[in-house]
Structure 1
């Protein structure tokens, strides 16, 4: 015989109704004081909700999928942590899936939604095509997009202005006296690659740009190893010194740091380097990486809140939330004054 505590016993110990107990444990429709009172009773009794029974009763799985291109990318890890922090108090589990960097891989994730294994999907694709958009529009569960806005297609979206962020990085470098500036981008047929290239082109073509553009080197991926290869190629093909390299993300920028070290270049004395995403690994490397923050955790938090709102009110108008970029200045772009 099982001695597992029941919801009725929790309600009795807390001295509240069964309905109030259920709402409090689900984290919605109850006051903070009520939630604390019920949770204290649940903890005292060792109560654990029966997830399977709850799913059957409510015809929900209480699982939200977070589908990303690369689950090893620190940006997605930080987003996942923020998403989980929002969803867990409402009884939802976060299921993470890696869909690769191709549109076809993202499409396979959307097609799998027909099996009903999740109640909704927070998706951050690198590439988007017409078939992807059509599947998103016809999905039977709520979808929230992080990255490229799909608001025009009726999808809740969380976006950021990475083009502006690149412009902020270029301006910072010229303010530091850097004049010969190159851009190291990832694949330009991706959403981040396209937007960040546009930002660099706009920054160096602006009449106020006080420098010389050394053009763009395109890496074959947004990874450290791709950054090392691309940085060596860039430095080999440029005649004369390169004052600064703006990298499209922190992983590429860390690749630049490694390539510079292999060539005997000092960062930041010989070469200034900036990244984008403001990741923990970028803050930990030596020299610490100047990076443009795109509000990674904030985007995850907002996306999770949009998902909860969509689950509770499916007919509300689609929402777009935009997070602004912010430059985080560290050692890799500022010469020592000592």
Structure 2
């Protein structure tokens, strides 16, 4: 199994579906369907086959087997299907794949590495055509299983740059900087972070981004509270915080934590934003439902889901595509809490 090398114009390399599509003047999806025997008009088929013969394209047996065994299902694995940020992501993914005639199958992993690696191993049973997953932690076990999955996988989250897996990520460090810059512009100097689990990728990035942004302004953190990415964790962390210090601003690592922090502040008779400004992260529906409404950093959950679905669908059309990495820029959405 392999491909002949070809020379077309100034480029020399192995012939791929993209090569054939470019030469035939058709889309990669159209060329892939013809080359895998999935149909096309007589004129289109003739052009694609002529181009394939000209460049010496040899079909990849693995790619052909992926095309031949279809279930019509796309898997989505997230830590918590009740988290609003995942709900936003799910909606966008479902809308994107609906146009391909496929359906979405959702799995909650509870952020357990064992659950996620077993899920990746289970792809050998081919119960889905492909998988989108958003792990909170990325371990060596994850990377090992990702390197040998039986169907295409797209990871939403941070992967090591050299990982040959399609990847969509948010720039949360830049997002934290937007929040801190905004609070400093408001004149706040006693800023604390209420974070999720620091051993997760988002938790580590929130912490690093917070400390770097404060240092850039010549400030030190008044305090950092770590817990989970939940309402109750935000509530309890803020209660503990208020027992030992009085900040003038809180940055919460997600909107659930921010909602819990807001509840604790109001419970203590502290006015928001007059006495303590509050900024959340993810810009979920929660930000619009609190009073006052939450200023929040939008990390583009829907945009990440949409892009992940697009990457997976194009991978299913052409399994020979090189691994791609996409980044979604953050934006600060200002509301009454800050």
Q: Same fold (TM over 0.5)?
A: yes
TM-score normalized by the length of structure 1: 0.79
- Which deviates further from its counterpart, 103-112 or 250-259? 103-112
Partner of 2:149: 139
1:212 Cα deviation from its structure 2 partner? 4.8
Partner of 1:274: 279
Q: Is the 8 A contact 1:150 1:156 kept in 2?
A: no
Partner of 1:83: 93
Gaps of 5+ in 2: 1-32, 41-66
Gaps of 5+ in 1: 1-22, 31-56, 334-338
**1:318 lines up with 2:323 in the alignment:** yes
**1:217 lines up with 2:230 in the alignment:** no
Q: Determine helix, strand or coil for the equivalent of 2:169.
A: strand
1:59 Cα deviation from its structure 2 partner? 2.1
For 1:313 and 1:244, locate their aligned partners in 2 and report how far apart those are by CA, in whole Å.
49
Partner of 1:230: 237
Partner of 1:191: 201
For 1:283 and 1:112, locate their aligned partners in 2 and report how far apart those are by CA, in whole Å.
39
Partner of 2:71: 61
Partner of 2:335: 330
For 1:232 and 1:103, locate their aligned partners in 2 and report how far apart those are by CA, in whole Å.
31
Q: Deviations over 1:115-162 (max 9, x none)?
A: 211011100000111011110110010000001135522100001110
Partner of 1:3: none
For 1:111 and 1:150, locate their aligned partners in 2 and report how far apart those are by CA, in whole Å.
20
Partner of 1:287: 292
For 1:59 and 1:318, locate their aligned partners in 2 and report how far apart those are by CA, in whole Å.
22
- Give the alignment of 1:104-115 within 5 angstroms: 104-115=114-125
Closer/same/farther in 2, CA of residues 29 and 245 from structure 1, 3 Å limit: farther
Q: Is the 8 A contact 2:211 2:220 kept in 1?
A: no
Q: Is the 8 A contact 2:193 2:251 kept in 1?
A: yes
1:234 Cα deviation from its structure 2 partner? 1.3
CA RMSD for the aligned pairs? 1.9
- Which deviates further from its counterpart, 270-279 or 101-110? 101-110
120, 128, 149: which one aligns with 2:138: 128
Q: Is the 8 A contact 1:150 1:157 kept in 2?
A: no
For 1:128 and 1:198, locate their aligned partners in 2 and report how far apart those are by CA, in whole Å.
17
Partner of 2:250: 245
For 1:170 and 1:78, locate their aligned partners in 2 and report how far apart those are by CA, in whole Å.
25
For 1:237 and 1:107, locate their aligned partners in 2 and report how far apart those are by CA, in whole Å.
41
Question: What count of residue pairs does the alignment treat as equivalent?
Answer: 277
- Which deviates further from its counterpart, 143-152 or 164-173? 143-152
Q: Determine helix, strand or coil for the equivalent of 2:147.
A: helix
299, 302, 315: which one aligns with 2:307: 302
Partner of 1:162: 172
Q: Is the 8 A contact 2:190 2:249 kept in 1?
A: yes
Q: Deviations over 1:184-225 (max 9, x none)?
A: 11110001001111100101111x34x452021112x10001
Q: Determine helix, strand or coil for the equivalent of 1:123.
A: strand
Q: Is the 8 A contact 1:163 1:198 kept in 2?
A: yes
Q: Is the 8 A contact 1:103 1:126 kept in 2?
A: no
Structure 1 residue runs of 4+, over 3 Å off? none
For 1:174 and 1:137, locate their aligned partners in 2 and report how far apart those are by CA, in whole Å.
44
Q: Is the 8 A contact 1:149 1:158 kept in 2?
A: no
Q: Is the 8 A contact 1:151 1:318 kept in 2?
A: no
